[in-house]
Amino acid sequence: MIKVGIVGGTGYTGVELLRLLVSHPHVELTVITSRSEDGVAVADIYPSLRGHCDLQFSVPDNNTLSQCDVVFFATPHGVAHKLVPALYENGVKVIDLSADFRLQDAELWSEWYGQPHGCEALLPKAVYGLPEMNRAAIKQAQLVACPGCYPTSVQLGFLPLIENNLVDPEYLIANAASGTSGAGRQANVDALHSEVSDSFKAYASAGHRHLPEIVQGLHLMQSPDQAKAKLTFVPHLLPMVRGIHSTLYARLRVDTAVDLQTLFEERYANEPFVDVMPAGSHPQTRSVKSSNMCRLAVVRPQGDDMVVVMSVIDNLTKGSSGQAIQNMNIMCGFDEDEGLRQVALLP
């Protein structure tokens, strides 16, 4: 058994971590923090955890957290910068669900997140936690930056095409749509049910915080001699709670004669949480709800030079907390799907 702590347990990613970890056979939950709910029972905030979690929220304390083997950060951006260094020094494995360590360029991070980067010294130590691309590095890591939800769905869709240099890297488009839980649990007029219901809209079309993270990942998929990937990324808001559907577009190279269906099937054949659907399929978000699965479909419309990839995930599971636990399993030598074998909810 390993001792696990969660910093920031009152948000959606925090409670998703709890939902999954309470049934993990190798985990003992020992501490969960919240400054605003100090002393309040977790089950009083989230009745769904009654009978499964008897912890109370507490104020973050490095001495207590340092007694853990693994600490998850489910906090707003900038919080992990302050607390992670002491934990890292004490040998604790850290998995950060915020964006604090995702970007390797501190100045770029500051530009997109509107504050100075508070922990540049640890950036070279942070491993980007997309298992399908970085499994070997994650296994040896002490600090893992868990990918964002949009970046997970987009990168998994583009990965077989980019790493095989099959498409023009300077002409990539991602239209992605997310449920309202992606905005977090804080009060937000734009995420109110009466504002979102019976409507559909794009937002942040001039630039979203996840864009530099996706582009950084695309560059890592490329060989050094390739032209650097460029991406047009437009996110949308869906009138539902959970789920992301990303529709990706790329232009195939003139001499490309590869069987795309076979390419995707072979690339992900041994990946426990990526399902390449049969030719002609259109994956639905409800087919991955509350699961750690990413479902993909690839098509070449009219046999032309365009390729379209459809990628669906649950933004709170594979897009956040489930993927974080997948990383923990890799780091700790457990079966990668331990605690993550839930079947998606239907209807």
pLDDT for 156 beyond 70? yes
pLDDT reported for residue 304:
87
Q: Residue 187: what pLDDT?
A: 67
Check: CB of residue 52 under 8 Å from CB of residue 22. Answer: yes
Q: What are phi and psi of 298, to 5 degrees?
A: -125, 140
In the chain, where are the structural domains located?
Answer: 2-146+318-332, 150-315
pLDDT, average across residues 254-276: 93
Which are the contacts of 138, defined by CB distance < 8 A and separation ≥ 6?
127, 129, 131, 144, 327, 330, 331
Annotated catalytic residues are: 149
Confidence at residue 207, expressed as pLDDT on a 0 to 100 scale: 95
Other CB atoms within 10 A of residue 217 CB: 25
Which structure tokens are listed for 46? 């989230």
Q: Flag whether pLDDT at 188 surpasses 90.
A: no
Confidence of residue 182 (pLDDT cuts 50, 70, 90): confident
Residue 176 binned pLDDT confidence (cut-offs 50, 70, 90): very high
Give the mean pLDDT of 221-229: 93
Q: What is the predicted pLDDT for the residue at 192?
A: 81
The pLDDT, as a whole number, for residue 91 is 98
Residue 4's nearest CA partner among 19, 26, 36 is: 26
Q: Which fold has domain 150-315?
A: Dihydrodipicolinate Reductase; domain 2 (3.30.360)
Share of the chain above pLDDT 90, in %: 91
Which pTM value belongs to this model? 0.96
Q: Which CATH class is domain 2-146+318-332?
A: alpha beta
CA distance 49 to 10: 12
* 190 pLDDT more than 90: no
Assess whether pLDDT exceeds 70 at residue 53. Answer: yes
Decide which of 303 and 234 is more confident: 234
Given this chain, do its domains 2-146+318-332 and 150-315 carry the same CATH topology?
Answer: no
Q: What would the pLDDT profile of 291-326 be if each residue is shown by its tens digit? A: 999 999 999 999 889 999 999 999 999 999 999 999
The pLDDT > 70 percentage for the chain reads 99
C-beta neighbour count of 268 within 10 angstroms: 19
Q: Is the dihedral of CA 35, 36, 41, 44 positive or negative?
A: negative
How do residues 12-45 score in pLDDT, each as one tens digit?
999 999 999 999 999 999 999 999 999 999 999 9
Which DSSP helix (H) or strand (E) runs through 262? helix 260-267
pLDDT (mean) for 168-184 = 93
pLDDT tier, 108 (very low <50, low <70, confident <90, very high otherwise) = very high
pLDDT at residue number 92: 98
